[in-house]
Structure 1
Amino acid sequence: MSTSTVHIALVGNPNSGKSSLFNCLTGLNQKVGNFPGVTMEKKSGTTQLSGNYIANIIDLPGTYSLYPKRLDEWVSYRVLIGQDPEVHPDVFVVVVDAANLKRNLLFCTQIIDLKKPVVLALTMVDLARKKGIIIDLAELERELGVPVVSVNPRKQKGVPQLKKAIEQTVEQRYKVPARDFIDHRELAGAAIGDVQALLPEVSDYKAIHYLINHEQFNFNPELQNQIERIEEKHAFNHTRTQASEIMQRYTRIKHVMQASVSEPDPRQQTLFTDKLDNLLLHRKWGYLILLGVLFLLFQSVFLLAQFPMDWIDGAFAWTSGALSRALPEVWWSDLLVNGVVAGLGGILVFVPQIMILFGLITLLEDTGYMARISFLTDRLMRSVGLNGKSVMPLISGFACAVPAIMSARAIENRKERLLTILVTPLISCSARLPVYVILIGLVIPNTYLAGFISVQGLVMMGLYLLGLVMALFVSWVAKWFINIKEKSFFILELPIYRAPRWANVGTTMIQKAKIFVFEAGRVIMIISLALWFLSSFGPSKRMEAVEEKRARMVAQQRPAEEIETVYKSEKLGASYAGILGKSIEPLIQPLGYDWRIGISLITSFAAREVFVGTMATLYSVGEDEEGTRLQHKLRDAKKADGSTLFTLATGVSLMIFYVFAMQCMSTLAVVRRETRSWKWPVIQFVYMTGIAYVMSLIAYQLLK
């Protein structure tokens, strides 16, 4: 017997249990994309509804009513009103929090009045029962005219009954209620009648939304003008109509609640969640606890990711070495080893950080603490043009800007999300650490204040703080220039505290890794191959001279290691990357740099930590004890005029340059993906490079 596919949309208020139900129904059969026209994450998945039906389920962004204010609410609204070109559900499963039934029923009854096939999934019944709230499901079903099913996604309870109710609704054994929940004709009867004369299939309530929001819909100009004339003819007032509707709904909902819900005395004792909030949201202790949680998060990303990253790095190093030994020394083998394999390594080495970071963030979200972090930090973030939800991407940026920028999707307001994406790379990530370590050890004395406070440690901390302060400052400046008029609403419901769902954590980690590898990874590979070409090839005369020098050294029977390191240094200097480094030398000389540092700046665009390896090659350093020997070589390095290259002024200037500069193609690739335009990555690259240049120039000129 053949099976049919039905399309189901999960809708509901934020924190109603919608995502839990989605994960319960779909498991790992999920995919992530974007809603048409917006960079708003669209989660969809499949489940076997019955022997006759396979369900394709889409999880719509949470919203409180059919009067959208934020971008994510507009996404859900367009689907519900039938204006989304791609998403056309057969059934809407409205997820309702039993512990907050009155507020949740407002949205539910609006959807019912759109004459959509609705199944009500009642979640958190156990929590409602703890509060003393008892709901008569049969009576609630009679009052609303739609099937009502109690579900507990965490314990897999009620899911078979929900699937059965969906199947019966698809087969029209449950009919769409003929009677409206409230009398819309009281609100604007004559105007509704005129709209229905134009569009006979439209319900009374849908006609009201056409009158309110028709300018936002894909109607032809003639229909737009006709609806506008109806508005003018009847002096239709949007605000008054909306306010009257809400009041009518709550009056009717009150009647439904009296008939179907038994509630306790509101003066009942405070629940565990409220007691815990008294501590975690305390005006003093709350911030100390927050700092402790963020410190543990930050440290965990470093510590937990270190070993798998080392394994991946080691595996690719071994693969590169094995291929180098096994393959002939021709251009295509160099492309395979230093282009393709190195590019793949540069992509996959980030995967542990991405998976661990998003796994920990999901844990914070599942337990209910993430909403508290946003609440506590909103005042500071809002003062610089961001909001409380920006704090997690900024903190995550200390580990890696790539997953941090991906996590900015949780910010609904487009301007605040864009500002967060633009300033997050200013936060010093783990890739900058090797650069800081080598430069601090080179130019900062290893002395201690008061016998135990390391000066080098203080400089390291200062570099991290410098990036954070600049990020907040740039956001404060940029908020005046980014002309997005979308109004910001920081509406945040604090969910109850609960145990995390480990299956959900695992699903999220896998999804985020796949998005990075298959989306951003393509761009990273292209740039990696381009950098390989620039570093491997150059004008024929220059490259021939390098080969001749290598032949002479071989003829002189010089040590193989010396020949190879000198050859690499000379070849890089003669390559297009080397020519580019020497061509920008006049530009970077005021910062205290020479052409060799210029080449390192160019090659480290692949990844910031490449700076150390490039400097090692340029200064003919072998692989043994690279860190120690490199510092000795750099201390002895001279400029063309014979003066010392790495002075305190040059070292500090270079450190500041790496604090501010956009030296990471992976980050640019992710910004391109998240903003769906090259405009913002280009702006980001230009402004960060500009700040890096000016600040490094000031530092060098003051210290030289």
Structure 2
Amino acid sequence: MSSGLKVALVGNPNTGKSTLFNALTGLNQKVGNFPGITVDKKTGFCRLSDGRTAEIIDLPGTYSLYPKSKDESIVLEVLTDKTSRLYPDLVVVLADASNLKRNLLLYTQVADLKIPVIIALNMMDLARKAGTEINVDELSARLGVRIVPICARTKENISGLKEAIQQMSAIPLQRETIEVEAIAPGLIAKIQNELQVESPYAALQLAHQHENMHYLSARQSDRIEELEQEFSFHSQKAQAAETIARYNFINDVLFDTVKQRTSVIEETISNRIDKVLTHKVWGFIIFFGILFLIFQAIFSWSEYPMSLIEDLFVWLGSTAHAVLPPGVFTDMLVDGVLAGLSGVLVFIPQIAILFAFISILEDTGYMARVTFMMDKIMRKVGLSGKSVVPLIGGLACAVPSIMGTRNIENWKDRIITIMVTPLVSCSARLPIYTLLISLVVPDTRLWGFVNMQGLALMAMYVLGIVSAILVAWVMKKLIKARERGYFIMELPVYRMPRWSNVGLTMYEKVKTFVVQAGKVIIAISVVLWVLATYGPAKKQQEIEQKYTALQQTNQYPQEELQRMKASDKLENSYAGLLGRAIEPAIKPLGYDWKIGIALITSFAAREVFVGTMATIYSVDSSGDDVVSVREKMRAATEPDTGRPVFTLATAFSLMVFYAFAMQCMSTLAIVYRETKSLKWPVIQFIYMGVMAYIASLIVYQVLK
């Protein structure tokens, strides 16, 4: 989609930037990477009333243009690189009206880059409750910039902001906030002349941060370094002088435009709630109570929609067999593609419920409190409070969570966080857990309301979190570093969740799961179907001859004969031979060769396990008996003993294996990219694999 103009959203963390982005773009958004770097880039499109389309670029939250992390450094790079496709025509600076002094620091820096700016003044309702009175017109006149009061949560005056964006050509360039040239006399003019930089402040920022600007050539960066030496430029002193000058300017402006009613001194509601929710005892009890409710809901609420999806795929399979002519294509479509997809898509309701709860906890401000509460525990095991954010994000997916560790300045804290984050149970494990739990844990209730299956699921998630903390403690002893980490975060006020935002998050996460998992599963299902359908010609020929002879004896019913033949052919297929080859190594864990095939294919992505089992048991079945993957696995028996394959011991051994094993190529790739070394992904793969094997061996031997 082509865009008429590019608009960058800039703001401090917790000012409602993501909410505003969703309000402007709705479902018309996508996530990618910034060019040349692995930092997430969120862009969307907004239709203006004059028919033009504005491309909205959601830049990472930052308190100033002096970055403390890789994510924050992106903001300056995008706003100063005029050759970039992402260079904006307009910047919307989102400011929290209830904390204007701190928010205006970032505005003054962006304004001095000489890009047209609009200030979106958010949370006016909270400012009024806090007794803050802002004269918006006077503030706009003093800054020389258009200010649009909005409430991103309720979408109040979003149309006014769109109108201001549309009229950007009429927006005057905002007034200079400080005398930039006085901070580094001579140096700024020299950089401007030699590198053709229009804005004095952009030239000053290049002096500070040229080493991190990807768009500068090595020659340009070296030249700036030479000029710094020539003019005796001291970065820290210059930054301090600039910050003092900016706050002097901000204080003068706010003195005339913002009044604080001194009568408003009562304790805020958020503070009163925090006394309970962040209490050193009650806070943790409430947190685990919330986790308990979430996992109960995942099983209780999802059963009906899951049954509908299972029935849909059974109907699709039966219809395909009835309508399409018999042959290789029909078998591949039904037993390969449909069977593989059904095994994963059936878990959409559970994934939607999980992300709905996570979105509600984030939206209300509660997740920030969890991070705050966990800080002390994290420090004892060698992590910082900032490690909690990637660990909690690991409930969704380890890949973006590991990328999120760039906010951790301390090298040791960051490495340990990267190494243990994959132990937290991600959404890809959810289909495996729920499938196996539904096979061996009865759907009964303790005391009338505690669902046993939900309890088992919660136990698996707690196991992941506890193991991550224990491994972090061990690594704290093994990895040596002298740096000390620190944790500073701002707790947002409590708010009601925005249900449109919760719905949008559910849609995005389910769509990502379906598209990403779907592509992998279709590819692997087709390859697996071929490997499971065909085998060495000689062996397949012997099986045909064997069952032709048996058919003539009338020793077995026709249906039983077909089932035996399908099972024999699968066992002697290429997939069967591969499974048989690794069976001796996995037999002590309680796994047969069919499960072995799934262990191999799910190295691509954990959720492929379910699709693999669906495909294997579809190929193993005879004729047109299309049933759901759960029913196939429940009916599976060992040929020698006739006992069920998926016993309590086998199922829990498998769940523990997947809880610990590094069954995700994407995660290994991102660990390599983030650490820029093969050493760490190799260590991670080995230690998680050893943990998985030993733990699942113990579980099986104890439970069998």
Identify whether the pair has TM-score above 0.5, normalized to the shorter chain. Answer: yes
Q: Which is further off, 348-357 or 378-387? A: 378-387
User: By how many angstroms is 1:421 displaced?
Assistant: 4.8
For residues 96-135 of structure 1, the aligned pairs below 5 Å read 96-135=95-134
Match of 1:181 in 2: 177
Q: What is the one-letter code of the residue matched to 1:136? A: N
**2:355 alignment partner, one of 325, 349, 358:** 358
Match of 1:49 in 2: 48
How much is the aligned-residue C-alpha RMSD, in angstroms?
4.3
Asked if the contact 2:579–2:594 (Cα under 8 Å) also holds between the matched residues in 1, the reply is yes
Match of 1:238 in 2: 235
State the TM-score, normalizing by the size of structure 2.
Answer: 0.83
Match of 2:188 in 1: 192
Distance 1:273 1:585, change over 3 A: closer
Distance 1:129 1:597, change over 3 A: closer
User: By how many angstroms is 1:539 displaced?
Assistant: 0.4
**Aligned counterparts of 1:303 and 1:408: Cα–Cα separation in 2:** 32
Match of 2:12 in 1: 13
User: By how many angstroms is 1:12 displaced?
Assistant: 0.7
Match of 1:571 in 2: 569
**1:274 alignment partner, one of 271, 275, 294:** 271
Match of 1:642 in 2: none
**Deviations 1:467-501 (CA, angstroms, capped at 9, x unpaired):** 44333334455679999999976442211112222
Asked if the contact 2:134–2:257 (Cα under 8 Å) also holds between the matched residues in 1, the reply is yes
Is 1:69–2:63 an aligned residue pair? no
Q: What is the one-letter code of the residue matched to 1:432? A: Y
Asked if the contact 2:521–2:611 (Cα under 8 Å) also holds between the matched residues in 1, the reply is no
Is 1:511–2:508 an aligned residue pair? yes
**Aligned counterparts of 1:533 and 1:288: Cα–Cα separation in 2:** 51
Percent of residue pairs identical: 43
Asked if the contact 1:423–1:475 (Cα under 8 Å) also holds between the matched residues in 2, the reply is no
**Deviations 1:297-319 (CA, angstroms, capped at 9, x unpaired):** 23223333333233222211221
Question: Aligned to 1:206, what secondary structure does the other structure show?
Answer: helix
Q: What is the one-letter code of the residue matched to 1:422? A: P
Question: Aligned to 2:424, what secondary structure does the other structure show?
Answer: helix
User: By how many angstroms is 1:195 displaced?
Assistant: 1.7
Match of 2:407 in 1: 413
Match of 1:607 in 2: 609
**Aligned counterparts of 1:515 and 1:484: Cα–Cα separation in 2:** 38
**Deviations 1:278-314 (CA, angstroms, capped at 9, x unpaired):** 2211122111111122222232233333332332222
Asked if the contact 1:585–1:594 (Cα under 8 Å) also holds between the matched residues in 2, the reply is yes
Question: Aligned to 1:154, what secondary structure does the other structure show?
Answer: coil
For residues 80-479 of structure 1, the aligned pairs below 5 Å read 80-82=79-81, 85-168=84-167, 170-171=168-169, 173-177=170-174, 180-217=176-213, 218-265=215-262, 268-384=265-381, 413=407, 415=414, 418-419=418-419, 421-425=421-425, 429-435=430-436, 466-476=463-473
Which blocks of at least 5 consecutive residues in structure 1 are unaligned? 442-447, 639-644
Asked if the contact 1:426–1:467 (Cα under 8 Å) also holds between the matched residues in 2, the reply is no
Question: Aligned to 1:57, what secondary structure does the other structure show?
Answer: strand
Match of 2:581 in 1: 583
Is 1:689–2:689 an aligned residue pair? yes
**Deviations 1:501-557 (CA, angstroms, capped at 9, x unpaired):** 222222222222222333342223212222222222110111122222332343333
User: By how many angstroms is 1:91 displaced?
Assistant: 0.5
**Aligned counterparts of 2:90 and 2:229: Cα–Cα separation in 1:** 35
**Aligned counterparts of 2:482 and 2:25: Cα–Cα separation in 1:** 37
User: By how many angstroms is 1:618 displaced?
Assistant: 7.9
Aligned pairs, how many?
Answer: 677
Q: Which is further off, 414-423 or 353-362? A: 414-423
**Deviations 1:185-209 (CA, angstroms, capped at 9, x unpaired):** 3321122232223135432222211
Question: Aligned to 1:189, what secondary structure does the other structure show?
Answer: coil
**Deviations 1:29-70 (CA, angstroms, capped at 9, x unpaired):** 323323223343322222233426432212211110010112
Distance 1:633 1:466, change over 3 A: farther
Q: Which is further off, 122-131 or 201-210? A: 201-210
**Aligned counterparts of 2:295 and 2:459: Cα–Cα separation in 1:** 17
Distance 1:307 1:39, change over 3 A: farther
Question: Aligned to 1:301, what secondary structure does the other structure show?
Answer: helix
Q: Which is further off, 483-492 or 302-311? A: 483-492
Asked if the contact 2:13–2:61 (Cα under 8 Å) also holds between the matched residues in 1, the reply is yes
**Aligned counterparts of 1:688 and 1:274: Cα–Cα separation in 2:** 41
**Aligned counterparts of 1:157 and 1:121: Cα–Cα separation in 2:** 12
Distance 1:519 1:152, change over 3 A: same
User: By how many angstroms is 1:404 displaced?
Assistant: 6.8
For residues 640-655 of structure 1, the aligned pairs below 5 Å read none
Distance 1:376 1:589, change over 3 A: same
User: By how many angstroms is 1:22 displaced?
Assistant: 2.0
Question: Aligned to 1:47, what secondary structure does the other structure show?
Answer: strand
Distance 1:363 1:651, change over 3 A: closer
Question: Aligned to 2:176, what secondary structure does the other structure show?
Answer: coil
**Aligned counterparts of 1:596 and 1:43: Cα–Cα separation in 2:** 41
Distance 1:52 1:319, change over 3 A: closer
User: By how many angstroms is 1:181 displaced?
Assistant: 0.9
Q: What is the one-letter code of the residue matched to 2:9? A: L
User: By how many angstroms is 1:77 displaced?
Assistant: 2.2
Asked if the contact 1:390–1:420 (Cα under 8 Å) also holds between the matched residues in 2, the reply is no
Distance 1:498 1:343, change over 3 A: same
Question: Aligned to 2:186, what secondary structure does the other structure show?
Answer: helix
Question: Aligned to 2:279, what secondary structure does the other structure show?
Answer: coil
**Deviations 1:391-411 (CA, angstroms, capped at 9, x unpaired):** 5776787xxx66576677766
